[in-house]
Amino acid sequence: MTYPTITLTKLSQTRKPGTKTAWVTNQTEVREISEAQYNNTVDACPFFRRMGGSETLTHEYTSWGYKVTRIISTRPDRNARSIFKFTFKYS
């Protein structure tokens, strides 16, 4: 029997000093998450938009259907951001 798994890759970035569009990756984290955790992450995006941040969601066709595969979450001060990449597979 195959079990579906979701792998989350989280990149924490800060703005490169003296630039407007260049980012430096400070930390990379890879872990396996449940479908409930995935849904909570995606459903929280409107909340962070109301708080003043910028949330960009990228949808793609996966083996699970048409899902969010990447979220770019920028803080309201625009000096730091987090990139969440989701990988869907059956193991």
Give pLDDT tens digits for 25-42.
Answer: 999 999 999 999 999 999
- Identity of residue 17: P
Please state whether 76 falls in left (phi above 0), alpha (psi between -120 and 50) or beta.
alpha
Q: CB count, 10 Å around CB of 57?
A: 13
pLDDT digits (tens, 9 = 90+) for 1-24: 567 799 999 999 999 999 999 999
